[in-house]
Structure 1
Amino acid sequence: MIAIRTRILAPTIILVILGSLALALLALCDSHREIEEVYDAQLVQAARLLQGILQRQDPQQTDWAQIGAALETALERSGEGILSHPYEINLSFQIWSQEGQLLVRSQHAPVLPSPPAPGIHDLLIDGHDWCGVLLQDGGQGLRIWVGERDDLRQDLIQRIVQHTLIPTLVGLPLLAMIIWLFLGWGLKPLQRLAWQIRARPVDSLDPLDSGPLPPELEPMRTALDRLLRQLRSLLERERRFIADAAHELRTPLAIIDIHVRNARQASNEEEREEALAFLQQGVIRATRTASQLLTMARLEPASYERRSLDLVVLVREELAELAPLALGREVELVLDNESDCPLLGEPSAIAILLQNLISNALAFAPRGSEVRVRLRQSSDQQVVMQVLDEGPGVSEAMLNRLCDRFYSEGNPDGAGLGLAIVEMISLRMGGVLHFSNRDQGGFCVQLSFPRQVHP
């Protein structure tokens, strides 16, 4: 996997280099054109200066040799003294009369067979390109040409361009290095966070250090803290399940072992049958305890899939499944509802809740009685479910302990987990669980759920 710094820096540097080179190329072309324009303007200015000097001279009486020598001497001083400059142009000049007669020409000027047309032009003479300008003086009848060799001009332009381009070429590596350093500085908080995670003990699930972090790293720390909390919760559930299983299965298994020994040591068939009967009861109780423990372990995760359902239909199905158990105890199961009860929940979890409540009610209901499941919709958008039996009820002192794990009141075959599971499911659905003794005798378990869906 490529490092983050490389993933960020490589495209950035490539973009900076390509962008800088593109801008430098555009600037080079524009600068070349502008410098050409400046040198052409200097040629025009030099021609006008010559025109100004010659305006008061009579072409017929002027000593053109003397003027040519003076101008030649001035041009030869170019590049000398304190006023010299490396970008001075190397001028050449020629002057013709109105009739086309050459009056004077500088030493290095090209030999032109005839005066060119007025204006700025490029000429190819003796293998050299010349840039020149011809100014026609109508007052004195003179044609003044000033020019310079194009190769000398291009040499000057090249030097100017090099001085412009070199800082860019030298600055790009320096800029890349600075970007590299600043990027490293910007990634320091991420490196500190990684170091903090590496430095933690292997078995530590505590939240990360709450020190200041850039806004971009806060979601990462929040996600890591959430993951650590989930891991801590999972480990805690695992430890609790192992502890509960070890605690609750130890006694039934020890009792089973005793009944097995009694069956082996029985002196007659009657003692053996009695020991086997106790053994069967112990196996049933251990199986019920293990089943309830696994149910609690499956229900403990914090999230589950909810969907819309009709509570009346679900209760009717569960009562039909539990009907054989009720017939065996000679107890009638009754569904009491006025209308449909739409609800948002998990069908499997509600089915487990109903099985525990009805099984618990059947365990205490006397023969010939009934267990009634009553469903109502309250005016405050609540679905109320009551499970009513005609058993002995529960003492007031024990009402608050009914949901304690492994606590069983008056049911020696129970594992003491049924109502704890009911409470867990109720809390997950946002419901309220309430226990009470009925005035006419019996016990009532009431659950109120937020409907959360429209009927």
Structure 2
Amino acid sequence: MKLTPRSLRSQITAAVAVLVTVVVALAGLVIVARIDHRDRTDLDRQLAARATKVRQDADKLLDKGDHTGTGTGTGGDDYGGLLAGSQSLVRLIYDGQVIAQRGETPPTALPLPTRDGYATIETDGQTWRSLTEPLGTEGDRLEVLQDIDPIERRLADNTAIVAAVTLFAALITAAGVWLITRIILHPLQRLRAGALAISVDTTEPLPAATRPQEVADLSGALNTMLDQLRTSMEATRRFTADAGHELRTPLTSLGMTIETLQRNPDLSAHQRTRALEAMRIEHSRITALLTGLQTLARGDAHALPERTTVHLSELLDEAVAHASRRHPAVTYRLAAVAPVTVTVTVTGWPVGLRLAVDNLLDNAALHGRPDGTVDIHLSHDTVGNTVRVTIRDDGPGIPPDQRQAMKERFTRGTRTRSPGSGLGLALVDQQVHLHHGSLRLGESPAGGLEVTIALPAADRPGPADEHAADGGAPTAGA
């Protein structure tokens, strides 16, 4: 059986009560020991002073002879008057025999001292303190004794008082700590009640605590964790719902084409080729859709790699080169606009930024004018330390009243005739916000769409970039 209390409140109370008990007991015992030592030291000094006085009048004590009465003394007996009722005794010893004594005579004879100096004698339940000194003559010795039972009783009484005070302090401390911990741990009880009330559909955070600091930190950490879990859960739900909604149409079309091929095995080669091409297109659409949804879900759940330094000029060079190969009929022109005189860098995720740029380049090719031109400009605002990537096409553009809505998922413009899932700008907008930037849609000088991404630049730009310094050479597609 374990004796350790289970609750934190009980453990704190028990620990503090035990600590107080030990501290008070030790402090009390030290005080009692000091008092007892002082009493015994004072008694030894008194015995020494009494021995000095008796030695001065030793002849007078010898003249009085032996006095072994009850110790009441007489008015003419200086030593009897001094020692009577004081529980003291004075003895003169010669050749191993008591030749004179004065004071309180104990019922049982006290043994003779075996050596000079201080000694403690116990007889018949009584304790005496003795001081024996030579008188100067050969064989004569003086012994002064004092009953120390009052000191022993005082020691016992003080020890009992310490024990009582220790017990009282322990009880009072336990009661006080029990009440105080109830107040201190009340925020934890609120957190516990809030945690028990959490369910799948609960959006309320845990109760916020401000004191004590440890509970406030725990409350903040738990609420942050719950926010992350809710974000991840909402991203999963949204991914499932969006995937189910958007995959229904291509999967239905794909299923119908497969069924047509099964029911008509005698289709001509031309018709079969068209059906297979339709299936390939739907398959590509499904794959692209799932990839886009997965990327959005990861961004919503903040399942992101470690941030690193990204050189935008290099990223744009690679992205434009690949876009030119994907859309050979489109002319891509990349130029750095003054005052870009250094390698522009941002802190973020290269994959995410490349995904955003690729989507914008593909959108400009798909929704712009056939065999058109796409201009890409890179600029650096040194005042605000902001990097801007601007992509312009010469297509129909997006009406101003539809531009904000185009950032939503599965939203397609009314002027477009190109296929797509409506996730392109949503992916771009998500990545830009994950990089603490902004996305603006406007009208290009050619009347098409102008998209501007503004990102905070890295604190330390890289060395000068040759193609940035001279304005950059345009990259053209076939």
- What TM bracket, shorter-length normalisation? 0.7 to 0.9
**In the alignment, what sits opposite 1:420?**
426
**In the alignment, what sits opposite 2:320?**
319
Range with greater deviation from structure 2 (256-265 or 40-49):
40-49
**In the alignment, what sits opposite 1:307?**
308
**In the alignment, what sits opposite 2:445?**
439
SS of structure 1 residue aligned to 2:407 = coil
**In the alignment, what sits opposite 2:193?**
196
**In the alignment, what sits opposite 1:383?**
387
- Equivalences for 1:176-255 in 2 at 5 Å? 176-188=170-182, 189-190=185-186, 192-193=189-190, 195-197=192-194, 199-203=196-200, 204-209=202-207, 214-255=212-253
Corresponding letter in the other structure for 1:294? Q
SS of structure 2 residue aligned to 1:187 = helix
**In the alignment, what sits opposite 2:157?**
163
Does 1:371 pair with 2:374?
A: yes
Whether the aligned pair in 2 keeps the contact of 1:434 and 1:447 (CA below 8 Å) is yes
**In the alignment, what sits opposite 1:278?**
278
- Equivalences for 1:13-52 in 2 at 5 Å? 13=17, 15-43=19-47
Corresponding letter in the other structure for 2:420? G
Corresponding letter in the other structure for 1:335? L
Deviation at 1:356, TM superposition (A): 0.6
| Cα distance in 1, alignment partners of residues 400 and 198 from structure 2 | 49
Aligned identity (percent) is 22
Corresponding letter in the other structure for 1:349? G
Range with greater deviation from structure 2 (29-38 or 197-206):
197-206
**In the alignment, what sits opposite 1:80?**
none
SS of structure 2 residue aligned to 1:377 = strand
SS of structure 1 residue aligned to 2:72 = helix
Deviation at 1:393, TM superposition (A): 2.4
Q: Deviations for 1:204-262, whole angstroms, at most 9, x for unmatched residues?
A: 34223458854442222222222222222222222222111111111221222222233
Whether the aligned pair in 2 keeps the contact of 1:394 and 1:443 (CA below 8 Å) is yes
**In the alignment, what sits opposite 2:344?**
341
Q: Deviations for 1:389-410, whole angstroms, at most 9, x for unmatched residues?
A: 2323233443333212111221
Query: Unpaired runs of 5+ in structure 1?
Result: 76-87, 137-142
Whether the aligned pair in 2 keeps the contact of 1:208 and 1:221 (CA below 8 Å) is yes
Corresponding letter in the other structure for 2:159? L
Deviation at 1:385, TM superposition (A): 0.7
Deviation at 1:186, TM superposition (A): 3.2
Q: Considering Cα pairs closer than 8 Å and 6+ residues apart, tell me whether 1 or 2 has the greater RCO.
A: 2
How many aligned residue pairs are there?
423
**In the alignment, what sits opposite 1:148?**
145
Corresponding letter in the other structure for 2:314? V
* Compared CA separation, residues 205 and 227, structure 1 to 2 (3 A): farther
* Compared CA separation, residues 197 and 32, structure 1 to 2 (3 A): same
| Cα distance in 2, alignment partners of residues 386 and 113 from structure 1 | 114
Q: Deviations for 1:401-428, whole angstroms, at most 9, x for unmatched residues?
A: 3212111221442100100111111122
Deviation at 1:358, TM superposition (A): 0.8
**In the alignment, what sits opposite 1:79?**
none
- Equivalences for 1:42-191 in 2 at 5 Å? 42-43=46-47, 59=60, 64=64, 68=67, 72-74=71-73, 90-94=87-91, 105=102, 107=105, 121-122=118-119, 131-132=130-131, 147-148=144-145, 153=148, 155-188=149-182, 189-190=185-186
| Cα distance in 1, alignment partners of residues 162 and 22 from structure 2 | 12
| Cα distance in 1, alignment partners of residues 231 and 417 from structure 2 | 32
Q: Deviations for 1:327-372, whole angstroms, at most 9, x for unmatched residues?
A: 2xx2233321254212222211101101111111111344543323
| Cα distance in 2, alignment partners of residues 129 and 69 from structure 1 | 17
* Compared CA separation, residues 32 and 265, structure 1 to 2 (3 A): same
| Cα distance in 1, alignment partners of residues 162 and 350 from structure 2 | 71
| Cα distance in 1, alignment partners of residues 259 and 404 from structure 2 | 39
**In the alignment, what sits opposite 1:140?**
none
| Cα distance in 2, alignment partners of residues 235 and 112 from structure 1 | 96
RMSD: 4.2
Deviation at 1:69, TM superposition (A): 7.1
TM (norm. structure 2) is 0.74
* Compared CA separation, residues 133 and 281, structure 1 to 2 (3 A): same
Corresponding letter in the other structure for 2:292? Q
Deviation at 1:282, TM superposition (A): 2.0
| Cα distance in 2, alignment partners of residues 103 and 439 from structure 1 | 135
SS of structure 2 residue aligned to 1:239 = helix
| Cα distance in 1, alignment partners of residues 13 and 217 from structure 2 | 23
Q: 2:455 aligns with which of 428, 449, 454?
A: 449
SS of structure 1 residue aligned to 2:90 = strand
SS of structure 2 residue aligned to 1:444 = strand
**In the alignment, what sits opposite 1:402?**
406
Whether the aligned pair in 2 keeps the contact of 1:350 and 1:425 (CA below 8 Å) is yes
Whether the aligned pair in 1 keeps the contact of 2:440 and 2:453 (CA below 8 Å) is yes
| Cα distance in 1, alignment partners of residues 196 and 307 from structure 2 | 41
Corresponding letter in the other structure for 1:187? T
Corresponding letter in the other structure for 1:420? A
Q: Deviations for 1:57-87, whole angstroms, at most 9, x for unmatched residues?
A: x959x9726x947882249xxxxxxxxxxxx
SS of structure 1 residue aligned to 2:412 = coil
